Amino acid sequence: MASGPLQLGVADLRRAPGTHRSIHLELIIGDLGRDRIGNADVELPVAEPLTAELALDSSPGHLDVTGTLLTTWSGHCRRCLDVVAGTLEVDVDERFAVRPELHSDHDAFPIIDDHIDLAPMMIESLLVSLPLLPLCRPDCPGPDPDAHPITVAAEVEPTTDPRWAALDELRAD
């Protein structure tokens, strides 16, 4: 398995159930290996820092990873479309298992050759925690009418499909 700050060897933990390891990571969102992480309105800027305070606890057949991820997000207000940003603090409680299919009660990430890859777990945890409909402030009134004037299109006479013309003659008086 490739080495890096997000790929961890866990052979020592797997051999001694009940052991604990604390991990502190400081990286940037781009280190997670994706060009973009976000939804339609909000994203995690790839150059922004990401801090992870994690704890790995071993049990027979699996590892539990708990802790906190901290970063910032940016997007557009759902009402006025101004740029809005915020801090994202995500509580993590995930499981890694040699045989993830045996853990139907919990979506487990795989342990492969005594290594775990934290990137997929971190991406998933961050994505589900992003605000779906961000607001610049709770009482946002919406678009500024002076900056975004409403234009009314000229009314157009509706046209009738010529294939329905015969039905026009069937109308009762």
pLDDT in tens, 53-107: 999 999 888 899 999 999 999 999 988 888 999 999 999 999 998 877 665 556 8
Give the span between the Cα atoms of 55 and 98, in whole angstroms: 18
Whole-model pTM: value is 0.76
Pick the closest to residue 20 from 7, 10, 5 (CA basis): 10
Tokens at residue 129, please? 């925690």
pLDDT at 3 > cutoff 70: no
How far CA 22 is from CA of 29, 64, 90, in Å, comes to 21, 12, 17
Mean per-residue pLDDT, 137-160: 78
89 in a structural domain: yes
First-to-final CA distance of the chain = 82
Pick the closest to residue 122 from 39, 3, 34 (CA basis): 34
pLDDT at 159 > cutoff 90: no
171 in a structural domain: no
For 106, the domain range is: 7-129
134 in a structural domain: no
Phi, psi angle pair for 168, to nearest 5°: -60, -30
40 in a structural domain: yes
73 in a structural domain: yes
Mean pLDDT, the chain, rounded, equals 86
162 in a structural domain: no
Is residue 62 within 8 A of residue 98, CB to CB? The reply is: yes
User: What is the SS3 assignment for 69?
Assistant: strand
Across the strands, what pairs with 158? none
150 in a structural domain: no
Across the strands, what pairs with 92? 67
Give the span between the Cα atoms of 12 and 78, in whole angstroms: 48
What is the domain count for the chain?
1
Is residue 134 within 8 A of residue 75, CB to CB? The reply is: yes
What pLDDT, on a 0 to 100 scale, did the predictor assign at position 99?
74
53 in a structural domain: yes
